[in-house]
Structure 1
Amino acid sequence: MRARGVVLQGALAAAGLIAAFFVWQREPAGIPGEVVVLDAPKQTLERVRYEDASGWVELFREASEDGALWLRLGTKALPRELRANETAEKLFIRFAPLRATRSLGVLDAETLAEVGLKDSPRKLAVKLTSGEHVFSLAASSIGWGSPYLRRETDGQVFLLSPSLLPDLENAANRLVDRTLHAFGSGEYDVLTVTSGDSSRTFLVRARAQRSAELVPRDAPDSVDEAARKWHERVWLLAPAQADFLGRGEAPPGGEPREVFRVEYRRGDERLGWLSVARGASGEFYARTEHTAGWAKLPPWADSIVQDAEKVAAGR
């Protein structure tokens, strides 16, 4: 029975590849790489949504803020909103105008089934200021890399570039912005470390081709090397993609309790902040002026927490 099943699966896969080959051999209705599926200027693009049987992904502009791009991940159990990264920015603008490598025209029902477009759970929706455009995508189980797309308004089928959809399919790993701050390490000249009732402010003194020194504001003639090394570890904190929580989402057990905070300034201008807090089960989380919400820190962050009080108290 097992051998028969393997043979049957092999025959079905071969049939699918043969069907794909004959569809590929159809005369293209445009220059390869220049077929326009959806003709729209970039500034009219509001949202791109991809969905399959396991969930959905949306890229959208935040209208109420500075036009930043956001990523919405949805499953049956949970929707999550996160900041989108530079890869997402580059991907987003590829949908207006939306181009394909070739046009295959209107396919009959049998051919639609052969290329995976019949009753496929995969959908693509592109929302413009003028309205939404919906497309069907070939089922991913067919077994070739170049995805087929069917325009719902007229039934036209297109072959998309194989590089267009993988980032949407793996959005949680590829499109989440893991940046903790919206400013760089050379942009602040004052930082304040607070832990419990202790707080200490440091002046940041740049050095050529070396890490900047931290000088306590209340002792300008001394350099605190221990504080510099500690803050260097703080600055390099990098939670994993999967450990970022969404906008308005609390960690398991409720809001964590802050254990230390670092605030960054340039002169009198406040640039941002970092808050590190302890969760209900003892794990540590961080959030900043840039993150959508809390992000779980790796286990070794407990040593940073332990030294924070010493830095803040000047011990």
Structure 2
Amino acid sequence: MKVRDLALQGGLAAVALVAAFFVWQREPAGSPGEVTVVDAPARALDSVRYEDDTRFVELFRDEKDRDQLWVRLGSKPPKPSVVGATDGGTAVAPAGADGGASDAGTAVAQAHGADAGTPQVVGTTEPPPPPRELRANETAEKLFARFAPLRAMRALGEMDGKKLDEVGLASTARKLTLTVGGKPQDFSLATPPGGWGTPYLRREADGRVFLLGPSLLPDLENASNRLVDRRLHTFDVGDFDAVVITAGGTSRSFIASGKAPGAVTLAPEESPDRPDEFARNWHDKVWRLMPLDFLGRGEVPPGGEPEEAFRVEYRKGGKRLGELTVAKGQGGFFARTEHTTGWTRLHAGVDALAAEAAKVSAPVSSASGK
């Protein structure tokens, strides 16, 4: 009897362990009252794309490393203007169209060999610039995980045309596409009143409408400021013990010491007990350079590759840790590091740093006179 009881208790314990394992493996449940719109684990999510009538934003996994996220920012081709006609037969562009003067509309219609009273479709044929691919930051990684599973505040079912028009879903240009396991799932997004608030989401596959949470979309709508990794380096002051500064064909090595948030103390390698205040101040300004604009992966600055002005190499224990290259191109200075995807445009005022770089990197015989 005791053996039977022990066997029964052991079996129940085994079942409990199996149940606990599956509960542990399950995706975390949403908040009370939430409904699931897309039931998929985060590891199966390939990309999240948001678009409106003028631009698009896409968060996507790297093909070679699925743990690395990228942000793709792009513009859509402008919509052509429709040139109509007045009762007098004078072609005019509708309000809000480019070049909306009546004489401009007449000229366009005549240029196309058409009657001035016939509506014409006009617009620029210049394609938008290629989209930029930039490294995603930690905020983007957290946001990406919130789309799989995708949850909403409420499920509202299907709506008729009148109701869709009332909530802003009848003719919206805002779209959301989630690609899960290589298969896209499309949604329409209503524009909230006043441009902010809780948007409505319509699943195109079955027409069901959901009330989406208010905190999910703002980061996508402001992706260039919120989702792009804007760091020049992933290391900080105190993570390197040597700096090599190169400019004008000459290089000079310094021993580096200090901790964030203070400036790095630099002492020439040949005289480590004599810190160089000029080099210290110069490097502090270089370290605090703030990129104005990040160019995308594979994107070349206007006018072609810029010409190097100076370079700063960071070392730890004799091994290269990272490098900053500052170069002058068409319209200003650019920077590139071991972490950036390409060139970054710098603010004005780098000319003085470029000129002083030659003094900092000069040999001891020349540097002693500065």
Q: TM-score with structure 1 length normalisation? A: 0.84
Shift of 1:285: 0.7
- Alignment deviations for residues 184-216 of structure 1 (CA, whole Å, 9 cap, x no partner): 222111111000211001111337995442111
Shift of 1:62: 1.5
What residue in structure 1 maps to residue 307 of structure 2?
257
Query: What letter is aligned with 2:273?
Result: D
* 8 Å Cα contact 2:237-2:261 kept in structure 1: no
343, 357, 367: which one pairs with 1:294?
343
What residue in structure 2 maps to residue 11 of structure 1?
none
What residue in structure 1 maps to residue 217 of structure 2?
165
What residue in structure 2 maps to residue 53 of structure 1?
53
Shift of 1:262: 0.5
* 8 Å Cα contact 1:191-1:264 kept in structure 2: yes
Q: 1:252 to 1:127 in 2, by over 3 A?
A: same
Q: How does 1:234-313 map to 2 (within 5 A)?
A: 234-240=286-292, 243-281=293-331, 283-313=332-362
- Alignment deviations for residues 105-129 of structure 1 (CA, whole Å, 9 cap, x no partner): 1111110111111121111011112
111, 116, 129: which one pairs with 2:168?
116
SS at match of 1:222: coil
What CA distance in whole angstroms lies between the structure 1 residues aligned with 2:173 and 2:261? 55
1:203 is the counterpart of 2:255: yes
Structure with higher Rg: it is 2
* 8 Å Cα contact 1:32-1:102 kept in structure 2: no
Query: What letter is aligned with 2:297?
Result: R
Q: Which ranges of 4 or more aligned residues in structure 1 deviate by more than 6 Å?
A: none
What CA distance in whole angstroms lies between the structure 2 residues aligned with 1:247 and 1:164? 27
What CA distance in whole angstroms lies between the structure 1 residues aligned with 2:264 and 2:285? 14
Gaps of 5+ in 2: 1-29, 77-127
SS at match of 2:245: strand
Query: What letter is aligned with 2:43?
Result: Q
Query: What letter is aligned with 1:131?
Result: K
What CA distance in whole angstroms lies between the structure 2 residues aligned with 1:300 and 1:33? 54
1:175 is the counterpart of 2:233: no
* 8 Å Cα contact 1:264-1:273 kept in structure 2: yes
What CA distance in whole angstroms lies between the structure 2 residues aligned with 1:183 and 1:209? 13
What CA distance in whole angstroms lies between the structure 1 residues aligned with 2:260 and 2:167? 60
What CA distance in whole angstroms lies between the structure 2 residues aligned with 1:297 and 1:233? 13
Q: Size of the alignment, in residue pairs?
A: 283
Query: What letter is aligned with 1:42?
Result: A
Higher relative contact order (CA 8 A, sep 6+): 1
135, 140, 161: which one pairs with 2:187?
135
Root mean square deviation of aligned Cα: 2.1
267, 277, 280: which one pairs with 1:228?
280
What CA distance in whole angstroms lies between the structure 1 residues aligned with 2:196 and 2:60? 29
What residue in structure 2 maps to residue 147 of structure 1?
199
What residue in structure 1 maps to residue 74 of structure 2?
74
